[in-house]
Structure 1
Amino acid sequence: MTPALVPPPAPAPGTRARLGAWAELLRVSALFTVPGDALAGAAASGAGTSRTTALAVGCSLCLYEAGMALNDWADRAEDAAERPHRPLPSGRITAPAALLAASALTAAGLALAARAGRPALLLASALAGTVWAYDLRLKHTPWGPLAMGAARGLDVLLGAAAQPGARTRTALAAAGALTAHTTAVTAVSRHEVRGGSTSAPLAALAASTALGAALVRGALGRTRNTPRTGHSAPVPPAPPAGRVAAAAPGPPGTTLAAALAAGYALSAGRPFLHAALNPSPQLTGRAVGGGIRAMIPLQGALAARTGALGAALATAALAPLAKALSRRVNPT
């Protein structure tokens, strides 16, 4: 007689609650916005993705989560007054445990970067230093938003530096795009608890609209322009009478890049506009969450414009997952 299959025991309520607390502390719904940094950087490097791309993604995830844990550890006194429901002030996670997690995740991220090579380790070290400086010192200074933006830019460069023989400088434009967007979102997040700011979401709206429009124009421009080879492009023969010549196809990824760039501008701009029209804490918080998730189509557009269709599609596929999980775990 075949023995009956016994299902594994369900986690005890205490275990489930602890896992939920750690998911909240680490903002797991925002994790889906991280892999696209390394993928966009690798695509912009000209070397393409490789085994070391996975190491760069793993490093990025570890350092991002380290920043989340360290953020709540550093803000535990402030959160006790303004956000007592968070894991640390509510007592669901202890402060020493959060600090230990931040330290361990930082070490794990640097170890992964070391396996990807010296250039990747240098970028990861700069990224880790920026994350810790932001959480412990710069967050509540005028340099806070720029420091957070710089962390995203360094994350993109990390993805480029991890590729063998890569040209990291070619990823500077992609890094600058993520830096600009993240700086704007971070400026809005400063008003998430109390609301009341119209200028911050308006500035973020202007930045995301300008960035999205520039990416769309760049993608469509590549479709219309001929390659710059230093020679005149050959003139195609005239089509037979009665037939219409088909439009010359653009470089791979231009249509996808334009679509993702437009999607980025829309997904970021709408919540920013709502927060500007009604700067309540609720709408400001939604604008921050929307701005965080909007990084995914932005990363996808940056990858697609280099012709890296696989990286662009893989990044874009993370958007619905991030949105679904954000309904259960607040990304901010």
Structure 2
Amino acid sequence: MRPRLRDLTELVRAPAALTVPGDVLAGAAAAGRRPDLSTAVLAASSVCLYWAGMALNDWADRDLDAVERPERPIPSGRVAAPVALGTAVALTTASLGLAAAADGRRALGVAVPLAATVWAYDLWAKPRPVGPAVMAAARGLDVLLGARAGRTRSALPAAATVAGHILAVTALSRAEVTGAQPWLPRTTLAATTAVAAATALGARPARRNGTGRLHRLGVVGGLLAYGATAGRTQAEAVADPSPGTVRRAVGAGILGLIPLQAALTAGAGALRSALPLAAAFPLARALSRRVSPT
């Protein structure tokens, strides 16, 4: 039986892919790269790899999910395990092809290690102590994918900021099923605060044509939304580290990446790239009520 489109959408957590293009845009902005067609294709490459990672995650966890989350597409029988694996392979191939078409060897030099990191996380690192660090490395590389040739170093601070956020969210996600010890959400909340502070301190808005104030407002607005989303739910998890509260904090942490990316992009002087991210945030929140991002 062929899976329905709705089931495949749930398998790859399709709406959560709205959290991905901002990585590329933040990297491009930090490296002084203007958004163009090649940037859009790199963003599409990133989305394909994100979806591949989600499909591979469920394939790798199919036995565990049969016990802990039987409602998911594979254990529920709505998507066959070989179909999920084939989806992951096809989307990874598409991702690498798009990266090559967008920026040739330069992009492949980042996209290939990025794809290897995603597969290593799902197939090996996820249950191990190193798992959160591997996932953080993947999102850091995703930011570097947007940088232009010769300017990768300029995008390293933005990559480190996104990686720090993902490190905290991934560490917290390990307690989605069992609930967390109080120290864990406290630690992730502290990390979220540090990420916001680093973004604010690292902002270097343009001063030409009087646009510096608008860029600063973009940074402040993005960070306020970031705190109200990721920070608020992590604070709730500190007070109540039960599985349901932790799961909400993880979902909000995933969605909170969008306003963080917008703040980073505005802080690098690319307000035009930050505005679509700001517009995508409420859409991502609405869609997350239909398909869980976790």
Q: Which residue of 1 aligns with 2:23?
A: 37
Partner amino acid for 2:234? F
Q: 1:299 aligns with which of 230, 242, 261?
A: 261
Structure 2 vs 1, CA of residues 166 and 261 (structure 1 numbering), >3 Å: closer, same or farther? farther
Q: Which residue of 1 aligns with 2:221?
A: 259
Q: How is 1:48-87 mapped onto 2 (pairs within 5 angstroms)?
A: 48-87=34-73
Task: Give distance in 2, aligned partners of 1:166 and 1:266.
Answer: 36
Matched, 1:107 2:93: yes
Task: Give distance in 2, aligned partners of 1:306 and 1:149.
Answer: 21
Q: Offset at 1:252? A: 5.3
Q: Offset at 1:218? A: 4.3
Task: Give distance in 2, aligned partners of 1:166 and 1:257.
Answer: 26
The answer on whether the counterparts of 1:131 and 1:148 sit within 8 Å (CA) in structure 2 is: yes
Report the structure number with the largest CA radius of gyration: 1
Report the secondary structure of 1:253's partner residue.
helix
The answer on whether the counterparts of 2:59 and 2:84 sit within 8 Å (CA) in structure 1 is: yes
Normalised to the residue count of structure 1, the TM-score between the two structures is 0.84
* Offset from partner CA, 1:108-137 (integer Å, 9 cap, x none): 000011112111011000110000000000
Q: 2:194 aligns with which of 204, 210, 227?
A: 210
Q: 1:321 aligns with which of 278, 283, 288?
A: 283
Report the secondary structure of 1:193's partner residue.
coil
Matched, 1:139 2:126: yes
Report the secondary structure of 1:317's partner residue.
helix
Task: Give distance in 1, aligned partners of 2:33 and 2:265.
Answer: 12
| Identity across matched positions, percent | 54
Q: Which residue of 2 aligns with 1:196?
A: 180
Q: How many residues align?
A: 292
Q: Offset at 1:99? A: 0.3
Q: Which residue of 1 aligns with 2:113?
A: 126
Structure 2 vs 1, CA of residues 29 and 249 (structure 1 numbering), >3 Å: closer, same or farther? closer
Q: 1:158 aligns with which of 145, 168, 178?
A: 145
Task: Give distance in 2, aligned partners of 1:119 and 1:200.
Answer: 38
Q: Offset at 1:251? A: 5.9
Report the secondary structure of 1:109's partner residue.
helix
Partner amino acid for 2:105? R
Report the secondary structure of 1:282's partner residue.
helix
Q: Which residue of 1 aligns with 2:157?
A: 173
Task: Give distance in 1, aligned partners of 2:54 and 2:115.
Answer: 12
Q: Offset at 1:107? A: 0.4
* Offset from partner CA, 1:45-100 (integer Å, 9 cap, x none): 11222221011111101100000000000000000011111100011000000000
Could you say what the CA RMSD is over the residues aligned between the two structures, in angstroms? 2.0
Q: Which residue of 2 aligns with 1:236?
A: none
Partner amino acid for 1:55? V
The answer on whether the counterparts of 2:161 and 2:199 sit within 8 Å (CA) in structure 1 is: no
Partner amino acid for 1:324? A
Normalised to the residue count of structure 2, the TM-score between the two structures is 0.94
Structure 2 vs 1, CA of residues 249 and 47 (structure 1 numbering), >3 Å: closer, same or farther? closer
Structure 2 vs 1, CA of residues 92 and 217 (structure 1 numbering), >3 Å: closer, same or farther? same
The answer on whether the counterparts of 1:215 and 1:258 sit within 8 Å (CA) in structure 2 is: no
Report the secondary structure of 1:261's partner residue.
helix
Greater share of helix: 2
Partner amino acid for 1:136? L
